[in-house]
Amino acid sequence: MNIDLYFFATLLVLGYFFGRMAEKKHFKSIIEREQKYQDVLTFNGRLLPPGMENSKAELVGGNVVISVDYFKRIAAGLRAIVGGRVTTYESLLERARREAILRMKEDAIAKGATMVVNVKLETASITKGQGQQIGSVEIYAYGTALSPMPVL
Amino acid sequence: MKYENRTIPEGINVSEEHPLKEFVILAFGLGAMTVLVVALLSFMAGWLVHLIPFSIEKSLSTSSFAASISDRVDLTKEQQRIESYLQQLADELVVAQQLPEGMDVVVHYVDDDTVNAFATLGGNLIMYRGLIERLPHENALAMLLSHEIAHIKQRAPIVALGRGVAVGLALASISGFGDSSMSQQLVGNVGLLTSLSFSRQQEDQADIEALQTLERYYGHTRGAESLFEVLNEGSNVFNPPEILSTHPVTQERIKRVDSFNEKSSELVPYKNLPDFLMKEFKTAN
């Protein structure tokens, strides 16, 4: 019993500190890069904004997989008994969504685009329903990048 | 028309609350609830289990550990003699302890170095050579047997089984709601601690009951403390703190015997263990 408990406590503490460190670092980097790529506009509308009709259109995408840490998993497990906002997973998914969009924007920039329209997000859980495993979440952001073409 | 992506304010999807705060509140809240549920369930199970007739318990035990241990080991003639000696002494103590009608005990002697003895389902007492051979006289052996017989009188084994099943079932279903093994782990440990402190109460009662039995059987309780002295030597490795231990701390048990001993003033000699017993133990080693 004791060994189990120590093992559990160690994992919990490790999960908490490393998970929190990684999350802080990641959010800092996300905010910085969002500032940097602010000029690349993203829209979820399907239709081209006026004035963009004469553009080169290409598929761009960015995906990210983030793992749950042990602490988040335990906290969410406790939350699952009583119900309510699973705040530990909320921040995880927020990170994943923003990171995926940033990577899509990076792809767009590499292709010389100034705008991405019809942006969509897909989510997949890597460890579906396998209770004993630490879960990971994948988010894939994709859209149509528009690069202005020289007027002929 | 000018298009732009405005900066979205932070903190919409991410709560500012410290994650540890939520965790501590949830963990302690659920921990307290679990202790409460376990205590309530084991109280109710312990109470209901007394309604199971002893005869049913006996038929349950035929398929249990006690039956398998006695069937598996073929005793030699000498060992059978020891067993029937123990059985005879136990039967006399059963009378002295005034067990209810229809309740009896069956002693199983096990030729093994383990320093232990225990009572299990259906009035079966398992006695290991390792403990008996360390006892200095019959009075200590009678204390040991009376203590185990007292557990049978309390219905302690079936109460433990009933509690174990009820609590185990409840905890399994609680932890089934969460998605993870962790709640199982957390919840399981809380359950263990609670069930331990329950059976300690039974140990205290069994000691008192056993001392009263000795008083009726020998007319005094002297020599009973030798049992605890022997048990204390056997477990010289590490004495766990009281809350973690099923049995009361040895010093307290010896103190209790002393308080009984004060009642009888005259010194009565201890009864020796029979010679054949000592001889068999010597050859066994």
| Neighbour-count burial of A49, counting CB atoms closer than 10 A to its CB (0-12 exposed, 13-18 middle, 19+ buried) | middle
* Angle formed by the axes of helices A87-110 and A2-36, nearest 10°: 40
pLDDT at B245 (0 to 100) = 60
Separation in Å, CA of B121 to nearest CA in chain A: 25
On whether any CB of chain B is under 8 Å from the CB of A5, the answer is yes
Q: How far apart are CA A26 and CA A80, in angstroms?
A: 26
Query: What is the pTM (predicted TM-score) of this model?
Result: 0.61
pLDDT at B13 (0 to 100) = 84
- Inform me whether the pLDDT recorded for B191 exceeds 60: no
Sheet of strand A41-42: strand arrangement = A41-42, A115-125, A136-148, A55-67
Structure tokens at B48: 């209901």
Q: How far apart are CA B109 and CA B79, in angstroms?
A: 7
Percentage above 90 pLDDT, chain A = 59
DSSP-assigned beta bridge partners for residue A37 = none
Nearest CA in chain A to B28: A78
- Inform me whether the pLDDT recorded for A33 exceeds 90: yes
Q: What is the mean pLDDT of residues B3-28?
A: 87
pLDDT at B273 (0 to 100) = 84
Nearest CB partner across the interface for B27, out of A20, A38, A78:
A78
Separation in Å, CA of B39 to nearest CA in chain A: 20
Q: How far apart are CA A75 and CA A91, in angstroms?
A: 13
SS3 for A19-84, per residue? HHHHHHHHHHHHHHHHHHCCCCEECCCCCCCCCCCCEEEEEEEEEEEEECCHHHHHHHHHHHHHCC
| Neighbour-count burial of B275, counting CB atoms closer than 10 A to its CB (0-12 exposed, 13-18 middle, 19+ buried) | exposed
Nearest CB partner across the interface for A5, out of B15, B177, B189:
B189
Tell me the pLDDT tens digit for each residue of A76-89: 888 888 888 899 89
Task: Kindly state the DSSP code that residue A150 receives in the 8-state scheme.
Answer: P
Nearest CB partner across the interface for A41, out of B4, B15, B182:
B4
- Inform me whether the pLDDT recorded for B189 exceeds 70: no
| Neighbour-count burial of B197, counting CB atoms closer than 10 A to its CB (0-12 exposed, 13-18 middle, 19+ buried) | middle
For an interface test with A, the pick among B1, B3, B18 (most A C-beta atoms closer than 10 Å) comes out as B3
Closest CA to A118 of A40, A41, A44: A44
pLDDT at A25 (0 to 100) = 96
Q: How far apart are CA A33 and CA A31, in angstroms?
A: 6
Q: What is the mean pLDDT of residues A105-115?
A: 95
Q: pLDDT-based confidence at B178, cuts 50/70/90? A: very low
3-state secondary structure of B71: helix
Tell me the pLDDT tens digit for each residue of B126-158: 888 888 988 888 999 999 999 999 988 888 888
Structure tokens at A142: 């994709």
Q: How far is CA B23 from CA A88, B16, B206, in A?
A: 10, 14, 42
- Inform me whether the pLDDT recorded for A51 exceeds 90: no
Q: How far apart are CA A35 and CA B155, in angstroms?
A: 73
3-state secondary structure of B1: coil
Tell me the pLDDT tens digit for each residue of B230-276: 887 765 545 555 555 666 677 788 888 888 887 765 677 788 888 88
Which has more confidence, B182 or B221? B221
Nearest CB partner across the interface for A75, out of B13, B19, B177:
B19
Contact residues on chain B for A104, CB-CB shorter than 8 A: none
The chain B residues in contact with chain A (CB within 8 A) are 1, 3-5, 7, 10, 13-15, 17, 19-20, 22-23, 26-27, 29-30, 174, 177-183, 185-186, 189, 192
Tell me the pLDDT tens digit for each residue of B38-48: 889 888 887 88
Closest CA to B167 of B19, B44, B2, B25: B44
DSSP output for B78-109: HHHHHHHHHHHHHHHHHHHHTPPTT---EEEE
Sheet of strand B106-110: strand arrangement = B106-110, B124-128, B117-120
Q: Do B122 and B66 touch, CB atoms closer than 8 A?
A: yes
Task: Kindly state the DSSP code that residue A122 receives in the 8-state scheme.
Answer: E
Tell me the pLDDT tens digit for each residue of B54-111: 888 887 776 555 555 555 567 788 888 888 999 999 999 999 999 888 888 999 888 8
DSSP output for B259-274: HHHTT--S--PPPPPP
Which has more confidence, A146 or B62? A146
3-state secondary structure of B11: coil
Furthest CA-CA distance within chain B: 112
Q: How far apart are CA A108 and CA A38, in angstroms?
A: 12
| Neighbour-count burial of B278, counting CB atoms closer than 10 A to its CB (0-12 exposed, 13-18 middle, 19+ buried) | exposed
Structure tokens at B215: 């008083």
Q: Of B6-10, B164-168, B231-235, which gets the smallest average pLDDT?
A: B231-235
